[in-house]
Structures are given as structure tokens and as C-alpha cells.
Amino acid sequence: MNNQTRWLSVPRPQPAAPHRLFCFPYAGSGASGYHVWAKTLAAAHLEVCAIQLPGRENRLSEPACEHLDILLPPLLDALEPHLDRPFGFFGHSMGTLLAFEAARALRDRGWPTPRRLFLSAGRPPHLARTDTPLHGLPDDAFLAAIVARYQGIPAAVLEHRELLDLILPTLRADITLLETYRYRPAAPLAAGFSVFGGRSDPRVDDESLRRWRDLTEGPFLCETFDGGHFYLNDVRPALTDAIARCLADEAGSGASPGRTPGRQLPRS
């Protein structure tokens, strides 16, 4: 398995697609969560490239990374051959941080940058964290706290200790990455931001979502849908349609990344 195959999963290759969407996972998840997106977005002539981090699915034998500064360099190296056409970044929850910092790192390298960032259910990284850290808790207390805070572990997994033991190291590493991350001030990104969230999300409220505006000089849109932290599982058609149309509009405009006119996204 070469470096690109390790880091990227492209379930439906679209060699002629005019643009790509790189999808970053939430804590504890893998690339397969975006495979259903690929089928939907292929009809919109958009190639989905799902990021596969170490420690999950086909990379389960590799240790998950606890520090963003260690994670980003090899990830960017794997992305580089795929930056040959207009592209966007999508991230949910932890994935918003990964997408944002990957975009900044691409800019620092002088490489192509996303035309737009689609940021879902993520707290802007420049806002102070007020949560009690969880990553140092004993296993059972850690899992209980994760369920209480995020409601993101399926009931079928919670009922099987062997499955919990399998995902626990990766989930703990991801939470460690989030809780030890320190924001470094830098110039706002040129790319436009489309920010999404669930109206009943106890973790990321509307005010927090709108603070992503501080981090971009490009067009900014903020849209909320019915649902909680994992609202996207219930509104996938509306969400993917909005993303596809936005990328198509921006790619068709011929404008520089982040300097294209915005579009009001539909409400659910």
C-alpha cells in the first residue's frame, strides 16, 4: 500500500470530474463514513476523496496520531498529487480542525489551496476551550464521558466490549489531539467558508459557528439544520447538494480560491 492509498480513499474515481472534495473524519471515525457521499456526489461530477487517518479501518495496525503537527506533514505529502484541479475541504467536528489547519499548511507551502472550506459542527479553533479534558481519564470513565458529551458511539458498539476495546486507542488519540491543540494566530484564509451545524447541538451553538467568520477573508455562509451534533446523518441529501452546487458555481466562475461570490444555502 503506497502513501497515497494509505491516506486517501476514493471509492468512486472520477477522472474527468472538474473538482474534488476532500473529506476529513470526526474523532474515532474513518474514511468509509464518506463512501455513501461518493455515490451521491458522482452524479454532480464531483470526486470524493476521503481522508484515512492512521489507527482505523485499513490502517488499524498503525498507531493513531495524538499531535496535529506530526499528522499534517505526511498527510499533505499524500494530498499533493491530487491538488491538480479545483477542490474543497469538508470536515465534521474534529474534521473541521483538520481541514482548517491543512488549508493553512497548504498556504504555508505555497501549494494550491481549497476554493472553499465546508465546516460542520466544529468549534472555531481560536475560541478558548472551556470543557474539562477527557483524554487522561481511565477507560470506562473516558467512554462514559465521550458518550455523554458527543453521543457519537453507536449503541451496537457500546454493547460489545471487544468493539469498544478495538476503537478505544484511536478515539483516545483523537481526543488527545483535540484537547492538546493550541491555536497559532495567522492571517485569515482567502478561501470562502460554508459553516453548518445542528440546531440542537449542545456542543456548538449558532454563535460559535458564526465565529468562523473571523478566520476567512472570503465569502462566509452559516447554515443550521434540525438535529444535534450528528445532524448530518439525517440531512445528507440537502447537505451534499448544497456542497456540490457551491463548488460547481465557484469552479465555473474561474475566480481565485476564496475570492468567488457566495451563495445562500438552502434551509432544511
Domain ranges of the chain: 3-127+186-253
Measured CA to CA, the distance from residue 125 to residue 102 in angstroms comes to 13
Regarding predicted confidence, which is higher, 2 or 263? Answer: 2
| Structure-model confidence comparison of residues 37 and 245, the more confident one | 37
Alpha-carbon distance 66 to 73, whole Å?
Answer: 14
Question: What's the confidence (pLDDT) of residue 107?
Answer: 98
Quote the distance between the C-alpha of residue 72 and its chain's center: 14
- pLDDT tens-digit profile of 175-185? 999 999 999 99
Q: Quick one: cell of 57?
A: 479501518
Residue 2: what pLDDT? 56
Average pLDDT over the chain reads: 88
* CATH fit for domain 3-127+186-253, picks 3.40.50.150, 2.40.10.230, 3.40.50.1820, 3.20.20.70: 3.40.50.1820
Signed CA dihedral, 254, 256, 257, 262: sign only: negative
The pLDDT tens digits of the residues spanning 40-90 come to: 898 888 999 999 999 999 999 999 999 999 999 999 999 999 999 999 999
Q: Which of 50-59, 118-127, 250-259 has the lowest mean pLDDT?
A: 250-259
Point out the residues that are catalytic.
93
Q: Give the whole-angstrom CA distance, residue 224 versus residue 228.
A: 10
**Averaged pLDDT for residues 223-252:** 87
Pairing status of strand 46-51 against strand 87-92: unpaired
